[in-house]
Chain A
Amino acid sequence: NAGVTQTPKFRILKIGQSMTLQCAQDMNHNYMYWYRQDPGMGLKLIYYSVGAGITDKGEVPNGYNVSRSTTEDFPLRLELAAPSQTSVYFCASSWRDTKLAKNIQYFGAGTRLSVL
């Protein structure tokens, strides 16, 4: 019963490096999301996907890219890492229940990223 799995849990990057944060869910959810949470702050949506092959920008997409080739996986790519991208990144997934229009999101454990 894994739910939403994020890897790695921690990472330190140098300025200008690139990396991919992995996210996988085993609940057959159609919706997936990437958020960042800065210290003491709320969640800001980076990108989201409503199904395989479909992605859209959230509130803070600059400096990030995503793809969704399968229902299960939704990786987040950081190109040319900057100190402003130091944050905790959460992946979430949900099954949008169109009948009741619920959107309960289930979150992964997070990836703590520092860019130095």
Chain B
Amino acid sequence: ELKVEQNPLFLSMQEGKNYTIYCNYSTTSDRLYWYRQDPGKSLESLFVLLSNGAVKQEGRLMASLDTKARLSTLHITAAVHDLSATYFCAVDAQGAQKLVFGQGTRLTINP
């Protein structure tokens, strides 16, 4: 059974700082997704990583995938308040028709 674990689950940081959210998964997969959820809102797709070594960047967020380590990271550079949200990673097991989501990381960025 595929398990997806994120850490940390809660992260409070100051504006301007850098930090990384980690997403580990338990079985072989080369497709990983990152989503953002604002409080009381729905989920929005951020990144799709489709191969080992894939790196995607959008503004202050950068996601990478290491399929051999079964690890994805979401790096935040020079955080700003607008990035406060819950971030989920999800893994698409090979041949599967569904995603398995991590628990989410609630990120709070303080001015």
Contacts and interface: CB of A to CB of B under 8 A. Distances in A.
Contact of A96 (B33, B97, B101): B97
Interface in B71-97: 88, 90, 92, 97
A109 B44 CA distance: 10
Interface-central residue, B41, B42, B44, B100, by most chain A CB under 10 Å: B42
Contacts of B90: 105
Given A43-B88, A101-B92, A106 B45 contact: yes
Contacts, number: 54
Contact of B45 (A41, A58, A104, A109): A104
Given A42-B88, A90-B43, A109-B41, A103 B99 contact: yes
A90 B43 CA distance: 9
B31 A103 contact: yes
A103 B92 contact: yes
B40 to A, nearest CB: 9
Nearest to B92: A103
B42 A105 contact: no
B50 A102 contact: yes
Interface in B31-63: 31, 33, 41-45, 48, 50
A108 B42 CA distance: 7
Contacts of A31: 97
A82 interface: no
A31 B98 CA distance: 9
Contacts of B41: 109-110
The 8 closest A-B CB pairs, nearest first, are A42-B103, A107-B42, A43-B101, A107-B43, A42-B101, A42-B104, A109-B42, A103-B92
29 contacts: A42-B88, A42-B101, A42-B102, A42-B103, A42-B104, A48-B97, A48-B98, A50-B97, A58-B98, A90-B43, A92-B43, A100-B50, A101-B50, A102-B31, A102-B48, A103-B92, A103-B98, A104-B45, A104-B48, A105-B33, A105-B43, A105-B45, A105-B99, A107-B42, A107-B43, A109-B41, A109-B42, A110-B41, A110-B42
